[in-house]
């Protein structure tokens, strides 16, 4: 019995230390993120921004699979961007619905015969269509099914410009998003990738790329994702940007230098997390070949993207994300404790290993041992209740800080009801929702071999625009 008590106490102590380290990291990163956003806001206020007449030519890649509900609205939002030189390339990955038919009807596409240089391997091409709307060239590619990474490789092959942006087919950009995301390229040398900010589209009304109104939706699952996204993007992304350490640029909105992506082999079509895998691969490729490079995160480049509205769809999405994280970290395991990668190894890889990949195992194991300790009387109940209360309140305050900071920087006005919703969402997200998602991620490996190449779909809704 003494051995069992010692075992439980050891795990409980480890769990408490783990939570303390995580909360300390969260505090530092949210603080740094808030300071950085405030500085950017002040610079914008005094007009100390980059002003230029030269525009970096950009190709926007939109991979699509069974996106008949949202694809037309998304493309309409892209042709109204406040930018001079860009093209749009839609890659239909063998959709079984009316995705292509809806696009042809909406934009009057014409079928053409166009040779394509296959710099990156991808599934066979079926046909090519072209159209021009508001002076913007739009190319529609129909290809055989090969997955999202495979579709993006096809888009890279088709693209004409030196930089490309990948954006999800259910997403909308603000009018100035393209100009904002290329600013790091204009300001600094050796930029190979830039990540934008992902905001949740449910609850926003956008007209011609301009946010007209914003409110928190009535769906509590969506509300909890909103505060979760704001905390994630304010904390880790901005903090890791300080030392060129971001390992994830969201597949919903990211800018990449095309020649470097082609040189490192493009997207991996055999992984679920093709966005993270590419970013980690770029780190490895550039460091192995002694190429000077920088990856940046631009929080003022905003993309509005739909998220799952049901627990079932959310669980499927998070399982895919977690398996993608596992595949990427396993494939590039040589970064682990490799000081040649500097802070990318010491901070970034360690963070994603212990606080993302392994966190559901640690959190669930911690909860189980606490329950066992309580059942056998091995635990100081008042101490544990007090500790978890302090930890939960601390986490909720940081989450609310992140949420209201983002509301301030995007200049949205929200109602008292929305403020109450946000506070309640922070409360339930931190004490309940995150543990549900931990269980989902924990069980994701049970379906690894069945779904490791699946696109993953959620129910879509038409944008309010």
Q: How far apart are CA 139 and CA 63, in angstroms?
A: 12
pLDDT of residue 452: 47
Domain boundary, last residue among 283, 305, 334: 334
Structural domain of residue 267, as residue ranges?
55-334
Q: Are 271 and 406 in a shared domain?
A: no
Domain boundary, last residue among 281, 300, 334: 334
pLDDT of residue 162: 96
Q: How far apart are CA 179 and CA 358, in angstroms?
A: 37
Q: How far apart are CA 21 and CA 353, in angstroms?
A: 14
Q: How far apart are CA 248 and CA 287, in angstroms?
A: 17
pLDDT in tens, the chain (465 residues): 678 778 777 887 888 888 888 888 888 887 887 777 777 766 665 555 555 555 789 999 999 999 998 899 889 889 989 888 999 999 999 999 999 999 999 999 999 998 899 999 999 999 999 999 989 999 999 999 999 999 999 999 999 999 999 999 888 899 899 999 999 998 898 999 999 999 999 988 888 778 888 899 999 999 999 999 988 877 778 889 989 999 999 888 999 999 999 999 999 988 888 999 999 999 999 999 999 999 999 988 999 998 999 999 999 999 999 999 999 999 999 999 998 999 999 999 999 999 999 998 888 888 888 888 888 877 777 777 777 788 888 888 888 888 887 777 777 778 899 999 999 999 899 888 988 998 899 888 776 555 544 555 656 555 554
CB atoms within 10 A of CB 51: 7
Residue 150 domain-assigned? yes
For the record, the structure tokens of 149 come out as: 């990474």
Is 362:375 a contact under the CB 8 Å cutoff?
Answer: no
Q: Are 261 and 123 in a shared domain?
A: yes
Residue 140 domain-assigned? yes
For the record, the structure tokens of 92 come out as: 């239909």
Q: Are 196 and 312 in a shared domain?
A: yes
Say which CATH number the domain at 88 has: 3.90.550.10
Residue 34 domain-assigned? no
Q: Are 357 and 247 in a shared domain?
A: no
Q: Are 289 and 392 in a shared domain?
A: no
Q: Are 177 and 113 in a shared domain?
A: yes
Q: Are 286 and 318 in a shared domain?
A: yes
Q: Report the number of distinct structural domains present in the chain.
A: 2
Q: Are 249 and 321 in a shared domain?
A: yes
Q: Are 221 and 324 in a shared domain?
A: yes
Residue 32 domain-assigned? no
């Amino acid at each position: 019995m003494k051995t069992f008590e010692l075992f439980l106490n050891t795990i409980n102590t480890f769990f408490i230390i783990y939570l303390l380290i995580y909360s300390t990291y969260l505090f530092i990163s949210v603080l740094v993120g808030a300071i950085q956003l405030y500085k950017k806001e002040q610079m914008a206020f005094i007009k100390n921004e980059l002003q230029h007449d030269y525009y970096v030519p950009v190709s926007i890649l939109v991979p699509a699979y069974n996106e008949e509900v949202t694809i037309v609205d998304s493309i309409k939002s892209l042709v109204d961007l406040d930018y001079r030189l860009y093209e749009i390339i839609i890659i239909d990955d063998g959709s079984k619905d009316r995705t292509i038919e809806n696009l042809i009807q909406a934009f009057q596409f014409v079928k053409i015969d166009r040779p394509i240089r296959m710099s990156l391997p991808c599934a066979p091409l079926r046909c090519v269509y072209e159209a021009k709307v508001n002076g913007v060239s739009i190319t529609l590619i129909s290809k055989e099914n090969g997955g999202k990474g495979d579709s993006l490789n096809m888009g890279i092959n088709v693209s004409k410009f030196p930089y490309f942006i990948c954006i999800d087919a259910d997403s909308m950009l603000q009018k100035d998003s393209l100009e904002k995301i290329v600013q790091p390229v204009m300001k600094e040398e050796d930029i190979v990738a830039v990540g934008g900010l992902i905001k949740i589209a449910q609850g926003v009304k956008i007209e011609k790329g301009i946010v007209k109104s914003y409110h928190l939706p009535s769906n509590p699952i969506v509300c909890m994702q909103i505060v979760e996204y704001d905390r994630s993007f304010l904390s880790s992304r901005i903090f890791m940007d300080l030392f060129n350490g971001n390992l994830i640029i969201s597949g919903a909105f990211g800018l990449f230098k095309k020649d470097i992506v082609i040189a490192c082999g493009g997207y991996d079509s055999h992984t679920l997390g093709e966005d993270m895998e590419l970013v980690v691969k770029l780190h490895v490729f550039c460091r192995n070949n002694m190429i000077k490079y920088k990856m940046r995160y631009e929080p003022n480049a905003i993309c509005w993207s739909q998220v799952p509205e049901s627990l079932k769809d959310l669980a499927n999405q998070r399982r895919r994300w977690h398996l993608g994280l596992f595949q990427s970290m396993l494939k590039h395991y040589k970064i682990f404790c490799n000081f040649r990668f500097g802070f990318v190894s010491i901070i970034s890889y360690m963070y994603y290993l212990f606080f993302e990949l392994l966190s559901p195992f640690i959190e669930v194991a911690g909860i189980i041992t606490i329950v066992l300790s309580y059942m056998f009387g091995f635990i100081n109940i008042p101490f544990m209740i007090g500790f978890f209360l302090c930890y939960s309140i601390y986490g909720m305050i940081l989450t609310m800080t992140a949420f209201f900071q983002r509301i301030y920087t995007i200049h949205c006005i929200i109602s008292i009801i929305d403020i109450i919703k946000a506070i309640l969402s922070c409360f339930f997200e931190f004490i309940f929702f995150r543990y549900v998602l931990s269980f989902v991620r924990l069980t994701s490996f049970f379906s690894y071999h069945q779904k490791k190449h699946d696109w993953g779909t959620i129910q879509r809704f038409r944008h309010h625009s």
